[in-house]
Chains A and B, each alone.
Chain A
Amino acid sequence: MSDSEIKYRMAKTGKLMIEILPDRCDYCGCCVGVCPEDAIELKEAEIFIIDPRCTNCAKCVWSCPIEVIKFNKEGVQAH
């Protein structure tokens, strides 16, 4: 994705709305598998959203089997 596309997406969505609750993740990879933007980094026991890539599409939220990802309308702090 080019820089201008990233800026466009940030402009479109305004703020970050997706949050992974720290400490509750099982590192299973469902969210990574469905993310259309390659916006989630998952190591052995570490996970984070690559903020500039995320479009707030919420597919990861629906695919997390243990409800660890939240969609917050008001926006969330970048970790």
Chain B
Amino acid sequence: MNKEYDIIVVGAGPAGSMAARFAAERGVSVLMLEKDRDVGYPVRCGEAISKAGVEEFIQSDDKWIASRISKFSFNAPDGTEVIIEFGEAGYVLERRIFDYELARTAAEAGADILTRAYVNGLLFDSDGKVSGVKYEYNGEQKEIKSKIVIAADGVESRVGRWAGLKTHIDFRDMESAVQITAANIPVDQNTLYFYFGKDVAPNGYFWIFPKGHNKANIGLGVSGIIGKKKSAQSFLDDFMNKHYPNAPVLTKIAGGVPCSVTLDKISGPGIMLVGDAARQVNPLSGGGIASGMIGGSIAGRIAAEAIKMNKLEHILTYDKAWHDRLGKRHETFNRIKEGIYNFSDEKFNSIAHSVLKIPIEKRTLGKVFTTALMNNPSLLLDIAKVFVI
């Protein structure tokens, strides 16, 4: 380890690893700190990702692909199932290995990595610019300086707040989730299953994502508004008792998905935020692996450029670069989310019924959307509402 670094990355999830790698590849010195003893563990994730989302950053590899996805199954509250087929569209990952591999690519690019290092404060220089971190390691309080700190500290992010950015997430936008990995779940191993309706997952969806050999990730998230009355845990218990009362549970985890638009400001003097810490999750799907890697890669590149140009203000261009690449799209997704997740059970049912009339080989997501509209004109108003504001 050096005494000082150009860039310190806090958190070794997908966003942190990509920030570290994209910076280190440009020849600057990088240290990534992770509080947990293992990179990639515990896994708090459904692990579904599109193939394109992976392959922008790392070549697909069987050792971290648990299953290959070619179909979506949407299930309406009355039990109507709508299946949409794709080519090979995505994967369910083995994230424990995937995150490890991502961190390895950062290390190969030259980044130093230290686990069991809990960051608990920031250092500032005399004009208030962030200039390093304070951390606890082996029970000792330490400090290390850097020109730039990249906060990749996930949903529980605090680093950004210490730097003076407004980062806490509105409790209504936090999807508090619980998920089990269960065995003996006899679903199609190439299909992602989504369940809608107020009994299973109000304001969101319930998922079953296959992990091969009839193992599956099963879970849901609920907004704090729902959580006031009924926790994610109770919804999951109800679903399992009803559908798979005897399934052996291999793991159970809690986790949070910040389902909102990106924070107003994701950079400041000496500080950049990436991944869940910046709220870069796709607010419609709740997917944050691919978008976190994208955010991390942009931040890592811009941070390295800033160091090499010796012009630290350059990091402030990150906000716009992110907005142009994905942030703007997430604003649209967020409006759609607010429309769809407020649909009544009857509405979900009637959409499912009209979509079923499209022959399966012609069912693309776009066609499903337009046909649902034509067969169900009252929907137009809802969709219009979604797009207008």
Interface residues of A (CB under 8 A from B): 26, 28-30, 32-36, 38, 41-44, 59, 62-67
Contact string, B176-211, partner A, CB cutoff 8 A, digits 1/0?
111000000000000000000000000000000000
Contact string, B151-184, partner A, CB cutoff 8 A, digits 1/0?
0001111100100000011110010111000000
The answer on a CB contact under 8 Å between B116 and A44 is: yes
The answer on a CB contact under 8 Å between B37 and A44 is: yes
The answer on a CB contact under 8 Å between B224 and A62 is: yes
Contact string, B197-240, partner A, CB cutoff 8 A, digits 1/0?
00000000000000000000000011011011001110000000
Chain A neighbourhood of B227, CB < 8 A: 62-65
Q: Quote the shortest CB–CB distance from A55 to chain B (angstroms).
A: 13
The 8 closest A-B pairs by CB, nearest first: A29-B156, A30-B256, A28-B254, A32-B156, A65-B232, A65-B176, A26-B254, A62-B224
Interface residues of B (CB under 8 A from A): 35-37, 44, 116, 118, 120, 136, 154-158, 161, 168-171, 174, 176-178, 221-222, 224-225, 227-228, 231-233, 253-256, 258
Q: Quote the shortest CB–CB distance from B281 to chain A (angstroms).
A: 12
Query: Which of A33, A34, A38, A42 is packed against the most chain B CB atoms within 10 Å?
Result: A33
The answer on a CB contact under 8 Å between B155 and A29 is: yes
Q: Majority SS of interface residues in chain B? A: mixed
Q: How far is the CA of A63 from the CA of B254 in the complex (A)?
A: 11
The answer on a CB contact under 8 Å between B171 and A62 is: yes
16 contacts between A and B (CB under 8 A): A28-B44, A28-B256, A29-B256, A33-B169, A33-B256, A34-B168, A34-B171, A43-B136, A44-B37, A62-B228, A63-B256, A65-B176, A65-B222, A65-B255, A66-B231, A66-B254
The answer on a CB contact under 8 Å between B44 and A43 is: no
Q: Quote the shortest CB–CB distance from A53 to chain B (angstroms).
A: 12
Q: How far is the CA of A36 from the CA of B168 in the complex (A)?
A: 6
Q: Say whether, besides A26-B253, A63-B224, A65-B255, A34 and B233 are in contact (CB < 8 Å).
A: no
Q: Say whether, besides A44-B35, A65-B177, A66-B178, A30 and B255 are in contact (CB < 8 Å).
A: yes
Chain A neighbourhood of B116, CB < 8 A: 44
Q: Quote the shortest CB–CB distance from A46 to chain B (angstroms).
A: 9
Q: How far is the CA of A75 from the CA of B169 in the complex (A)?
A: 26
